[in-house]
Amino acid sequence: MALLLAGCAALPTPEAPPTVALPERFAAQAAPAAAQKAPEGPWWLAFGDQGLDRAVTQVLAQNLDLEQARLRVEQSRALASQAVARTRPRMDVGAGASVNRLSSQTAPAKAPGFDANTHSVGADLTASWEPDFFGRTAAVVGAENARAQASEADNAALALSLSAETARRVIELRGLQAQDRLAAKAVQLEQDLVAVAEAQLRGGAVNQADVWRARAQLQSAQASRDRLAGSMADALQALAVLLATTPSSAATTVGEAAMPKPRGLGAFAETPTQVLARRPDVAAAKFRLAAASADLAATAAERFPRVNLLASVGMAATSLATLGTTDALLATLAPSLAWRALDFGELDAAVAGRKATEQAAAAAYKQTVLAAFADAEMALARVAARQAEWDAALQAVHTQREVRDLAQLRFERGVGALSTALEALRVVNQLERERLESQQALAVAVVEVYRATMAGTAVP
């Protein structure tokens, strides 16, 4: 008993996750009075885009990287179950029969009445168990369980990353679709101006150079649609890889829709500590630290004796007829103890190595927490900046549309210059593109907030 207590006392204390000082709220976080509640259901539903919903659902179901991660989870769970099974008694059943013939030239075979042919049959049941007096087996089980939990957290982190990447890809495609619709309208307006300019050229109101300029601007608008078609094809190809399907199938999945407008953010009401507590990368780092501590304890426990209890019972006879008699019964009870007596420092070195691994895992956990905090902090700051950019872009487009409409009206009535109308149209088209780009950037920034803070329901 004294030896047992001494052994337990000598096992190293697990390294606790390092404490990381975090502020009470994020720098870009809204005041508590203005904080919004997280949306109900998965976070991507906040965008109100059915094509995006279908794409994210599909990527979580059939992405090949995620499938590999799920299989790694199954592998780690199997290893954990295997470690648990090793803590329990093991039983083996055996049976056998043999026929032997001795050489007739040997001395026993020459004895009168000796039968050179011998027969034997037997069966046995063997049980063995290694009691865990010093916590080694429990530590091994704890390490495997922690690794399984880390694998599950890695899987959740990958699912979150892939869902966010899919949302970004769909938003990028929505931006290209919106730009294509805008370009189509621009082409129509350019065609109208060219028609008016050609009519006025015939009446002598404008010169040939003005018409050529209008035609050149029309051709530029038509060329922009061709470039957009290529960009949309590239975006669908990238999305198809995520969805593990073909570009045509991906196009059917996402369809065509307007740029999504997110309906508020939920993370603003939570503290950094609450946000980081549900991030899967932080959880994975914590489980890896726990696994490293358990590995250290298991290695340190090798300093103490290992006891093995073995018992067997069986029967052996020269024929099946006599196998069931009491004379054929045999039994064995063989407890054993093994204790490392001399290894010239090998075990001490192994313990030191495990300790270094544990300390490295603790440092990795702290680094993960700090990186996760910075990730969430920057995501929230980007949303605020992108919102301001979008508001400014909306105001600029609204003002320039009035300028364009006035310049075109004046030109059609013959009181304004064609160059002024063309320039006003060029500027408004540029501002419309910038508005779409700022709206797309805002939507992507919102995705990043959901990814970085896991606001709303976590991905499965």
Per-residue pLDDT of the chain (460 residues; tens, 9 = 90+): 454 444 444 677 877 888 888 888 888 765 544 445 555 678 888 888 999 999 999 999 998 888 998 898 898 889 888 888 888 888 888 888 887 766 666 555 555 655 666 778 878 888 888 888 888 989 999 999 999 999 999 999 999 999 999 999 999 999 899 888 888 887 787 777 777 777 777 777 667 777 777 788 778 878 888 888 899 899 999 999 999 999 999 999 999 888 887 655 544 567 888 889 889 999 999 999 999 999 999 999 989 998 898 888 888 877 777 777 777 788 888 888 888 888 888 999 999 999 999 999 999 999 999 999 999 999 888 888 888 888 888 888 888 888 888 887 887 777 777 677 777 777 887 888 888 888 888 899 889 988 888 765 444 4
Superfamily in which the 22-88+134-302+340-453 domain is placed by CATH: Outer membrane efflux proteins (OEP) (1.20.1600.10)
The pLDDT of residue 460: 42
Of the candidates 180, 155, 152, 159, the residue with the CA atom closest to the CA atom of residue 44 = 159
> What is the chain's Cα-based Rg?
38
Check: pTM over 0.95? Answer yes or no.
no
Could you tell me whether strands 306-317 and 117-129 are parallel, antiparallel, or unpaired per DSSP bridges? antiparallel
Alpha helices in 20-135 (DSSP H): 50-62, 64-85, 107-110
311 class by beta-carbon count within 10 Å (0-12 exposed, 13-18 middle, 19+ buried): middle
Of the candidates 231, 245, 234, 264, the residue with the CA atom closest to the CA atom of residue 55 = 245
Distance CA 441, CA 434 (A): 10
Q: Is the Cβ–Cβ distance between 214 and 193 less than 8 Å?
A: yes
Distance CA 398, CA 392 (A): 10
The pLDDT of residue 326: 75
The pLDDT of residue 360: 95
The pLDDT of residue 32: 47
The pLDDT of residue 266: 46
Tell me the CB-side half-sphere exposure of residue 299, using CA atoms within 13 A. Answer: 20
- Residue 344 dihedral angles phi and psi, to the nearest 5°: 60, 35
The pLDDT of residue 257: 87
> Token digits for 268?
């603003």
